[in-house]
Structure 1
Amino acid sequence: MTVKLSISVPDDVAAYLQSRGNASAAVTEAVRRVLPDARRARQRAAAHAFGEFLRSRTPEQADAARDLIESSNDIALRDAEW
């Protein structure tokens, strides 16, 4: 599926795209090169935030979370034969 977009770009970018045979392909190629980097940056930021959250918990909070996870696993695995 494709979507038609109308965008404004600086003059130098417009000149480059006009020089290409297929401007849509040029834009798609450039954006796809950037997407993995942006995704990795979001993942790193999320991992950092989660690490900060884990470090800020008190021992009591960590124990309570561990108990909750173990209880949830026991419920989920009830009558399961492994």
Structure 2
Amino acid sequence: MTVKLSISVPDDVAAYLQSSGNASATVTEAVRRVLPDARRHRRRAAARAFGEFVRSRTPEQAAADRDLIESSNDIALRDAAW
């Protein structure tokens, strides 16, 4: 699927895109090079937030979480043949 967009760019960028022959492919390639960095940044931020959350848990809350996980695993693995 493709979407047609209209954007404004500086003159030097416009000149480069016009000379490239296929501006859509050029822009797509450039943006795809940036996407992994943005994804990596979001994942790091999420991991940092989760780490802060886990560190803020009391020992009682952590024990309750472990009990819930173990119970869930027991339910999920019921009748499973290993």
TM-score (norm 2): 0.94
% identical equivalent positions: 89
Query: Where does structure 1 differ by over 4 angstroms across 4 or more consecutive aligned residues?
Result: none
When the two chains are superposed, the root-mean-square deviation of aligned CA atoms in Å is 0.9
Partner residue, 1:66: 66
Aligned residue in 2 for 1:57 = 57
Q: Where in structure 2 are there 5+ consecutive unaligned residues?
A: none
Which digits, 9 at most, give the CA deviation of each residue in 1:13-67, with x for residues without a partner?
A: 1121112111111101100100001000101111111111110100000000000
More moved, 14-23 vs 50-59? 14-23
Q: How many residues align?
A: 82
Q: Name 2:47's counterpart in structure 1.
A: 47
Matched residue, 1:19:
19
Q: What are the ranges of 5 or more consecutive residues in structure 1 without an aligned counterpart?
A: none
TM norm structure 1: 0.94
